[in-house]
Structure 1
Amino acid sequence: MGKLSRTRAHVIDGLPRSWPDFASKYPLFMKLALVLIWPLGLLLAYMSLKAAVLTDALGQDAHAYWLAAQGELVYGRAPGERDAYLYSPAFVTVLRPVALLPWHLFLALWICLEAAVLCWLLKPLQRRWSVPAFMLCLPEIVVGNIYILLAAAAVVGLHKPAMWAFPILTKVTAGVGLLWFAVRGEWRLLGQGVGGFALAVLVFYALDPAAWQAWLQFLVDHRDGTPDTRVSFLLRCLLAVVLVLVGARKQWPLLLAPAMVLASPVLVGLIPLTLLAAVPRLTGMASPGAKDGLPAPKTPAVRGTPTEFAASGERP
């Protein structure tokens, strides 16, 4: 029984160890969630595949990245327009070697990349949770945005702070997670994050100063380009900062994911919620303030409740 107790301290009903108390106190809720997540996942999978086949949604955002990397970078399309490229020149510079491929091959590689990263993010979950969770993220894979990659950056960035340069140089305010280290007073890690961002800017700026000046002007010209009002966007960002503050104080890394959702420049539809795919990995990680700075040791998932063990005659 002692072994079962230790195991249940890490994983309850197939979920990471951040929810053991909740799952044990509200087993009915967990069962209901499992019942609901499957039809919702199947519905989104059907709608995503239908949109990919019957409309031009397949690779809609990825095409903007591919097109921007074809020649001289021009910020000529406003946010919301087809093939509008909104990110810094650094992102498109990294993509240029792959963008030499024909569009359909580039799209295939992009879809495979996002699918592989998503599988990695959901790996801590048991299949009864990870499969519907994967289906919930299919709208993002279909359009080919970068939310899955941003979710991975949040996970890696918790212990490799320089990784936060990626969210900042793409969706800017989505890099709110870098404040985690400031709140916790981890100045060395904060310095690594700020230093990594500064180094990336210096290197890529030297490659194409004109493109960077165009991007900064683009951000200024379209500062009201978010679908919501400036006030609501600022309120979302403020709430995101509060979530990071609470998460850092309470050592709850999983709050980084919803904070990034709230701080996303565009929060319309379900696709930005794909950032929540970082939660399974974040909840299984030790506090960045730990001396070893490593994720918590893996522990096998529980295969059943004490009642199920008793019914089967199997010893836990």
Structure 2
Amino acid sequence: MPTTRERLVRAAPVVAVLLVGIAYAAWQITGGAPESQDSKAYYLASLDDPYARSMVGGDYAYLYSPAFAQALAPLRLLPIGWFVAAWTLVLVAALAWTARRLALALLLFQPVIASIALGNVEILIGAAIVAGFRWPAAWAFVLLSKVTPGIGLVWFAVRREWRSLAIALGVTAAIVAVSFALAPRFWFDWADVLLKNRGTTVSLPVLPGPLWLRVVLGAAIVAWGARSDRRWTVPVGAAIAVPVGWFTFTAIIAVAVAGLWVRTPGWSVRGLILAITHPNWRAWHRRVVA
């Protein structure tokens, strides 16, 4: 059983990350922090017309499902500065929960910092992927935000984990049903937005290749990982399949891989590197732990 000192040592990086998040959120409230463009997009997506700004590459474009906008409605009652700060704390808390003792180290990774500063959902997607192995319902968040990273569900299909797949899709369908009952028009509007933005190019550097090709590639990576028991392939495949892959898409990979590894008995930083590079890392890991 860990001693009190060992518990404190383990908790220190998590506490440090939370304190950094609180400090940054306070800075956002004062108006001194850089503009959090994605957070502001979520704030401006009012339930009167959430898709008033919905062109990829446009200022404060809202492109996620109506369910996401509806879920944020209570938080949107706050002044915008407080909304942005609260959302930042959600992201930082998700990072701390997912990566645990590696969370502080991830704050040195520029895509993670940028993702938090922008207020994007990449960290939450990484957290949902990690949680989804134990609680498949977490995949509903992925499917109802960026949609295409949901190809990570290929993991359950290839491994014939039908119950987990059914839970993930069933919970998503239930949320959609409730959301549709509340505002059916929004779902038709969202479908129009997705069609309108097909093939849209942006000036920012993004992942190369058409989305359909990246979705196929991501699904193939996940399928290979499912057959060879490599969980890290799920966030890699999901990240490759994001609709608009700015460099912060790698935050999904970093957060999720770190989260998966710290939940592995006997984990270490050296082991994390080998887990990605060594073809028979499971056998290697069993020898190390033994």
- The answer, yes or no, to whether TM exceeds 0.5 is yes
Q: How many residue pairs end up in the alignment?
A: 237
Cα separation, 2, equivalents of 1:96 and 1:79? 23
Does the CA contact (< 8 Å) of 1:114 and 1:149 recur in 2? yes
> What SS does structure 2 have at the residue aligned with 1:81?
coil
Residue 165 of structure 1 and its aligned partner are, at CA, apart by 1.5
Cα separation, 1, equivalents of 2:201 and 2:229? 31
Residue 75 of structure 1 and its aligned partner are, at CA, apart by 4.0
In structure 1, give the amino acid aligned to 2:106: A
| Structure showing greater relative contact order (alpha-carbon pairs closer than 8 Å, 6 or more residues apart) | 1
Tell me which residue corresponds to 2:216. Answer: 238
Residue 73 of structure 1 and its aligned partner are, at CA, apart by 2.2
Cα separation, 2, equivalents of 1:194 and 1:60? 30
Residue 100 of structure 1 and its aligned partner are, at CA, apart by 0.4
In structure 2, give the amino acid aligned to 1:80: G
Does the CA contact (< 8 Å) of 2:107 and 2:113 recur in 1? yes
| TM-superposition CA deviations, 1:29-61 (whole Å, max 9, x none) | xxxxxxxxxxxxxxxxxxx9xxx9999852111
Mapping 1:1-316, distance limit 5 Å: 57-69=34-46, 71-125=48-102, 130-136=103-109, 137-225=112-200, 227=202, 232-268=210-246, 270-276=247-253, 277-285=255-263, 298-299=265-266
Which stretch of the first structure deviates more once superposed, 138-147 or 71-80?
71-80
Cα separation, 1, equivalents of 2:208 and 2:230? 29
User: Any stretches of 5+ residues in structure 1 without a counterpart?
Assistant: 1-47, 286-295, 303-316
Cα separation, 2, equivalents of 1:56 and 1:134? 17
| TM-score after normalising by structure 1 | 0.69
Which stretch of the first structure deviates more once superposed, 231-240 or 149-158?
231-240
Residue 87 of structure 1 and its aligned partner are, at CA, apart by 0.5
Residue 247 of structure 1 and its aligned partner are, at CA, apart by 1.2
Larger radius of gyration: 1
Residue 232 of structure 1 and its aligned partner are, at CA, apart by 2.9
| TM-score after normalising by structure 2 | 0.74
In structure 2, give the amino acid aligned to 1:245: A
> What SS does structure 2 have at the residue aligned with 1:153?
helix
Cα separation, 2, equivalents of 1:62 and 1:256? 26
Considering only aligned residues, what root-mean-square deviation do their CA atoms show, in Å? Answer: 2.7
Q: 1:301 to 1:259 in 2, by over 3 A?
A: closer
Does the CA contact (< 8 Å) of 2:158 and 2:226 recur in 1? yes
Cα separation, 2, equivalents of 1:141 and 1:233? 24
Cα separation, 1, equivalents of 2:268 and 2:148? 36
Q: 1:271 to 1:244 in 2, by over 3 A?
A: same
Tell me which residue corresponds to 1:42. Answer: none
| TM-superposition CA deviations, 1:68-90 (whole Å, max 9, x none) | 13643234431110111000100
Cα separation, 1, equivalents of 2:83 and 2:201? 28
Cα separation, 2, equivalents of 1:178 and 1:83? 29
Q: 1:153 to 1:133 in 2, by over 3 A?
A: same
Cα separation, 2, equivalents of 1:278 and 1:58? 26
Does the CA contact (< 8 Å) of 1:111 and 1:144 recur in 2? yes
Tell me which residue corresponds to 1:308. Answer: none
Does the CA contact (< 8 Å) of 2:129 and 2:139 recur in 1? yes
> What SS does structure 2 have at the residue aligned with 1:253?
coil
Residue 225 of structure 1 and its aligned partner are, at CA, apart by 2.3
In structure 1, give the amino acid aligned to 2:134: H
User: Any stretches of 5+ residues in structure 2 without a counterpart?
Assistant: 1-23, 270-290
Does the CA contact (< 8 Å) of 1:165 and 1:193 recur in 2? yes
Cα separation, 2, equivalents of 1:231 and 1:133? 28
Residue 106 of structure 1 and its aligned partner are, at CA, apart by 0.7
Cα separation, 2, equivalents of 1:185 and 1:91? 29
In structure 2, give the amino acid aligned to 1:132: A
> What SS does structure 2 have at the residue aligned with 1:154?
helix
| TM-superposition CA deviations, 1:7-50 (whole Å, max 9, x none) | xxxxxxxxxxxxxxxxxxxxxxxxxxxxxxxxxxxxxxxxx9xx
Cα separation, 2, equivalents of 1:62 and 1:236? 26
